Amino acid sequence: MNVAVLIKQTPDTAELPKVTVDEAESGELQATMVINPWDEFAVEEAIDLSDRFGCETVAISLGRADETDALKHALAMGVDSAVHVDEDVIDGGDEWATAEALAAAVRKVGGGEDVELVLAGKMSVDGNSGVIYAGVACKLDWDLLVNVTRIVDIVDGKLIAEQAFEGGQETVEVPLPVVISVAKEINEPRYPSFMGIRKASRATIPTWGRDHLEIDASRTTRWNDLSKPEPEEVQVHIFDGATVEEKAAQLADALMAEKVI
Amino acid sequence: MASTDELLYTEEHNLVRKMAYDFTRNEVMPIIAEHDRKHTFPFELLPKMAQLGFLGICLPARYGGAGMDFLSLGIVSEALEYGDSSVRETVAVHLALHALPIFQWGTEEQKESFLPGLASGDHIACFGLTEPGAGSDVAAIQSRAMRQGEEYVLTGEKMWITLADVADRFLVFAKTQPDQGARGISAFILERGWQGLTTGTLEGKMGVRASNTGWINMQDVRVPACHRLGEEGEGFKIAMSCLDNARFGVAAGSVGIIRACIDESVKYALQRRTFGKPIAEHQLVQQMIAHMQQDLDIGELLVWKAGTLKNRGVRNTRETSMAKWFCTEAARRAADNAVQVHGAYGYSDEYNVERHLRNTKSAVIYEGTSQIHTLMQAAYTLGMREDRPLRCPMPAYDPDTWQ
């Protein structure tokens, strides 16, 4: 069984506030680009599954021509191989088009042995859509599990997983193949090892463009405008009181007056 | 514009940089302020650093090391000291002042015997040179080593020893020929538990409070002759070559402090408003931040130069001294300016810059005071000092045989 893990290269979260509207529109970000933090959980889970079940792992990322740092990071963590999909294949398309391209890449990396499991982080820290993996499942016509907190077992062509939902958790069983988005509770991503770093730095990552992927990158949405939210005016109120109880009572009254509680 | 990282370092180095900085931000920074406040050693970091290979980063894989180069050691040192000096000091002392000297000066038997346990972190090691009455004046050490058959008997006291009360391996220096000054010093590897060897912790430090600093007392400690490092009388040269290793880490670490001071000062200066605008718009605040950036750019280049010479196996005592001298002084200036940018808040331990300022004062004292480095550089420039070839030079980095 092969496992594909979808990753995205995003600005370092510490530098997100510095990204300007012009940069976002042009894609020429000045920020340090790193692997999307949510995707690190998916990469870790892929490596763990490789250890548990002996599967081959491949990281796939769609991005600009030279954006392979996130893939190198995944290789350094321990995935077996990586593929870069040139974003030109979607011709400025939206999430639906991105899902189309990634699904086509998943089909192609299968090669002789099909990919039966796709892992993804729950969202990206820049786009924040949280729908790409659902689109990939739809395009592949596979089942979808979201917010998975534990992969219990893979046996007899079925995957058993624990999935969190609001107010609870359930254990589900789905037939392979399946697309899974993982929650951060699923694991603790490892740091790249020096051996992994050496391997990653020497790896040649193939880039697939229009010549490699046959897709109809239809799109339904386009950006008409992009703006940053205005900074909120924040008022600070410090409660005076002789005791903690007195201050807490004042705080509770204020929260009720503002209809917060 | 290309960054220094892109211009001077390989992709492998930059992956090391991301990994090491991630480690510092995730593992070191959340806990270190509390350790500093309580003067406690962060024991919980040792197995994590060992697992990642930090403790043997630039030792060949055949001795259990990670097989990386000296620039990688510099990068990890920088990243660790971005969080706190004490954590970088642990790697510097354990690796640069103990394991690397064994790699450089040890017999093959000593390398095979001692290095794997050090690289894996099964043993933690320190370096005992300074004494109550001998710091910069190394030749004035009073510790004695008397040869008795196949053993030496060591007596003396070491002071201001980083990791003294944590380590279980000690590289100490003692005089085998007391009448021959610096040429009468020899080096020995001691192990915790040997009769007559005791250690303790020194309290009341101004900075690097999350590091252990202490003393080593030797009362007739019997040391097998096979634990002597190098030849008899070679101790001074070994000690000085050790400093070439450690000073490199100190310099690189200081670059990490400058970077931390810039990051924290920029963040604060853009948020904090006075007189109706962010303090980042006040020119005298800008001047302080510009000076920090100037020092960072210079420091990065000096560290890269020294590390590159090390990789090539070229004697680098002058360049490493220059890097250590400049970078530690620059880090002290940067931390001082960072506290000033933060105003009264910077004077409290609510912000990291206060800790960096206290830490940087120690770095201009240890591994050769700034005054010692000033004299060294003057002597080189005036033609009064020349480095002679060592019997055992540090090998050049060779990826084919180290990995």
Selected for mutation to probe chain B from A43, A197, A202 (highest B CB count within 10 Å) is A197
Does the structure show a pLDDT above 80 at A168? yes
The CA distance from A203 to A69, in Å, is: 12
**pLDDT for the residue A166:** 86
**pLDDT for the residue A130:** 87
**pLDDT for the residue A112:** 55
Is residue B51 domain-shared with residue B188, that is, in the same domain?
no
The CA distance from B189 to B145, in Å, is: 12
Q: Within 10 Å of residue B178's Cβ, how many Cβ atoms?
A: 14
Residue A137 amino acid letter: A
The CA distance from B400 to B394, in Å, is: 17
Of B189, B214, B233, which residue sits at a domain end? B233
Tokens of B78: 């920088």
Whether A80 contacts A50, CB under 8 Å: yes
Is residue B217 domain-shared with residue B249, that is, in the same domain?
no
CB-based burial label for A193 (10 Å; 0-12, 13-18, 19+): middle
**pLDDT for the residue A186:** 97
Whether A105 contacts A82, CB under 8 Å: no
**pLDDT for the residue A225:** 82
Whether A74 contacts A191, CB under 8 Å: no
**pLDDT for the residue A78:** 96
**pLDDT for the residue A84:** 97
Tokens of B184: 């009468």
pTM (2 d.p.): 0.90
Is residue B107 domain-shared with residue B204, that is, in the same domain?
no
ipTM: 0.87
* C-alpha count within 13 angstroms, C-beta hemisphere, residue A200: 29
| Averaged confidence pLDDT in chain A | 90
CATH code for the domain of B361: 1.20.140.10
Tokens of A87: 């974003």
Tokens of A81: 């191989």
Q: Which of B212, B203, B254 is nearest to B356 (CA)?
A: B254
Selected for mutation to probe chain B from A191, A193, A195 (highest B CB count within 10 Å) is A191
Of B217, B233, B249, which residue sits at a domain end? B233
**pLDDT for the residue A91:** 81
CB contact under 8 A, B15 and A193: no
Nearest CA in chain A to B24: A191
CB contact under 8 A, A72 and B15: yes
Domain ranges of chain A: 2-208
Residue B304 amino acid letter: W
Whether A20 contacts A108, CB under 8 Å: no
Burial annotation A85-107 (CB, 10 A radius, 16+ → b, else e): bbbebbeebbbbbbbbbbbbbbb
**pLDDT for the residue A89:** 87
* C-alpha count within 13 angstroms, C-beta hemisphere, residue B282: 17
Is residue B257 domain-shared with residue B357, that is, in the same domain?
yes
Whether A28 contacts A65, CB under 8 Å: no
Note if B367 is an active site residue.
Answer: yes
Phi, psi of B379 (to 5 degrees): -65, -40
Query: In this structure, what is the dihedral angle of CA atoms B1, B5, B6, B10, given to the nearest 10 degrees?
Result: 180
State the residue range of the domain holding B115: 4-124
Is residue B293 domain-shared with residue B194, that is, in the same domain?
no
Tokens of B20: 């090491």
Is residue B209 domain-shared with residue B261, that is, in the same domain?
no
CB contact under 8 A, A194 and B23: no
Whether B68 contacts A76, CB under 8 Å: no
Give me the DSSP letters along B213-226: EEEEEEEEEEEEGG
**pLDDT for the residue A237:** 85
- A2-208 topology per CATH: Rossmann fold (3.40.50)
Is residue B255 domain-shared with residue B385, that is, in the same domain?
yes
**How many domains does chain B divide into?**
3
Q: Which of B13, B32, B23, B241 is nearest to B127 (CA)?
A: B241
Question: Pairing state of beta strands A2-7 and A115-121?
Answer: parallel
Give B18 to chain A, closest Cα distance, Å.
9
The CA distance from B36 to B204, in Å, is: 12
DSSP strands (E only) in A64-114: 81-86
How sure is the predictor about A13, in pLDDT bands with cuts at 50, 70 and 90?
confident
Is residue B261 domain-shared with residue B316, that is, in the same domain?
yes
Whether B215 contacts B126, CB under 8 Å: no
DSSP strands (E only) in B75-167: 125-128, 144-148, 151-162
Whether A58 contacts A2, CB under 8 Å: yes
Is residue B368 domain-shared with residue B277, that is, in the same domain?
yes
Q: How far is CA B280 from the centre of its chain?
A: 34
Q: Within 10 Å of residue A64's Cβ, how many Cβ atoms?
A: 15
Q: Within 10 Å of residue B108's Cβ, how many Cβ atoms?
A: 7
- Is residue A11 within a helix (H) or strand (E), and if so which, with residue range? strand A9-11
Average pLDDT (A223-247) is 84
Give B13 to chain A, closest Cα distance, Å.
9
Is residue B226 domain-shared with residue B361, that is, in the same domain?
no
Q: Which of B250, B198, B236, B217 is nearest to B93 (CA)?
A: B250
Q: Give me the sign of the Cα torsion angle B79, B84, B87, B88.
A: positive
**pLDDT for the residue B139:** 87
Residues 6+ apart with CB under 8 A from A178: A116, A117, A118, A137, A142, A143, A144, A145, A159
Of B233, B256, B288, which residue sits at a domain end? B233
What DSSP designation does B205 have?
-
* C-alpha count within 13 angstroms, C-beta hemisphere, residue B4: 14
User: What tens digit of pLDDT does each residue of B372-385 get?
Assistant: 999 999 999 999 99
Question: Pairing state of beta strands A178-182 and A115-121?
Answer: parallel
Tokens of A161: 């997983």
The CA distance from A17 to B338, in Å, is: 22
What are the helix (H) ranges across B174-276?
235-271
Does the structure show a pLDDT above 60 at A116? yes
User: What tens digit of pLDDT does each residue of B116-154 get?
Assistant: 999 999 999 999 999 998 887 888 999 999 999 999 999
Tokens of A213: 């992927």
Is residue B38 domain-shared with residue B151, that is, in the same domain?
no
CB contact under 8 A, B53 and A193: yes
Does the structure show a pLDDT above 70 at A110? no
| B16 vs A contacts (CB less than 8 Å) | 194, 197
- How many Å is the maximal CA-CA distance in chain A? 74
**pLDDT for the residue B7:** 86
Contact residues, chain A to chain B, C-beta under 8 Å: 34, 72-73, 76, 191-195, 197-198, 200-201
Higher pLDDT, A28 or B168: B168
CATH code for the domain of B17: 1.10.540.10
How sure is the predictor about A111, in pLDDT bands with cuts at 50, 70 and 90?
low
Stretches where chain B sits below pLDDT 50 are none
Residues 6+ apart with CB under 8 A from B308: B71
Phi, psi of A174 (to 5 degrees): -130, 145
Give A207 to chain B, closest Cα distance, Å.
18
Q: What's the angle, vertex CA A14, arms to CA A11 and CA A15, rounded to 5?
A: 50
